[in-house]
Amino acid sequence: MDDNAGGRRVAWPWRVAASVAGMAVVLGGCGSGDNDDDKADEPNPSASSGSAAPASSGSPSASATGGDSTSLSPFRADPARVPRTKQQAEALAAAVALGPEAWGADFRAQRQATSTPRTVAVLDEQCRWERRPLTKGVLASLSRYSELPGAGGKGEIKVTAAVTVHTTVLDADDQMSTTLEEPLRCREQQVRTDERISGLMSTGTAYGQGNNNYADDQVVEMGYYLTGTAKQRYFWFVTRLGTVTLAVSVKGAKGYTDSELNQYGSQASSTMLSRVEFELGEKN
């Protein structure tokens, strides 16, 4: 776990892991589940899908101001540190989004290491992922793509860490609702010409519900990542603290269990949550 937070939130990794594992069991019992490559260069919680008004994600009602979220929150940002400009938001996203070294010693950057500047991933009306110029309510969005090369009879894991900084808490909260709804609208999603995600299911857990005592809101998606005839597990974890939404995707590979893939995702989520708190939290 990143140690920038000065020892704060040291219990996050196991709390996040327990929450994610619990939701994975729920989703697995309902149907399908599994993995990603960067809701592959594309899917990222900053996306504005253009779908009908989303159902509530179950999170507490949020203030429209950038710094105040709600009293029902594990985190209170210092209003003076909350980004108000695109430049400030880009700096925050760059500080929070995980590079390969943060995933583990053997990870490396993918051939495309980062998303196109000042764009956001959008799931369009035809359930296809594409990157578009920043949408209303989004100050910055950054995705970093890493991979763990195959070795010892195991395949290659691909992962994504995405950070989206919104103008207000309400904008970020609306995005969580949209994220929760997207698998209902698009059970199969096209990532690239020969790559798609299918069998998607999602579940959301607001702060104070279940084991979520570390984020304002959390959504977990599970499905299968299909590349040609190959099929791998796919997981997407999305969390929110204040105006910032964080997404971690993990595309599985031969030789890896769901538990191992969930561990990568939960550890990455906890690290980015700690980074947000360090960057924006009130100083004691």
Share of the chain above pLDDT 70, in %: 75
87: how many CB neighbours lie within 10 A of its CB?
11
**Which pTM value belongs to this model?**
0.80
Q: ∠ CA 169-57-25 to the nearest 5 degrees?
A: 125
Mean pLDDT, residues 196-209: 93
Q: ∠ CA 282-73-11 to the nearest 5 degrees?
A: 80
Mean pLDDT, residues 116-134: 95
Q: Which residue has the higher pLDDT, 227 or 69?
A: 227
Mean pLDDT, residues 110-117: 96
Decide if pLDDT at 215 tops 70. yes
Across the chain, mean pLDDT equals: 81
Decide if pLDDT at 39 tops 60. no
| pLDDT tens sequence across 148-173 | 999 999 999 999 999 999 999 999 99
How much is the pLDDT for 72?
80
Mean pLDDT, residues 86-108: 97
Q: What's phi and psi for 261, nearest 5 deg?
A: -65, -40
Q: Are 226 and 196 in contact (CB under 8 A)?
A: yes
How much is the pLDDT for 98?
98
For residue 108, give the amino acid letter: R
Mean pLDDT, residues 29-51: 38
Decide if pLDDT at 175 tops 70. yes
Q: Are 172 and 166 in contact (CB under 8 A)?
A: yes
Decide if pLDDT at 10 tops 50. no
Cross-strand pairs, 238: 247
Decide if pLDDT at 68 tops 50. no
Q: How many residues does the chain have?
A: 284
How much is the pLDDT for 229?
87
**Cβ neighbours of residue 168 closer than 8 Å, sequence gap 6 or more:** 62, 63, 64, 65, 66, 137, 243
How much is the pLDDT for 73?
87
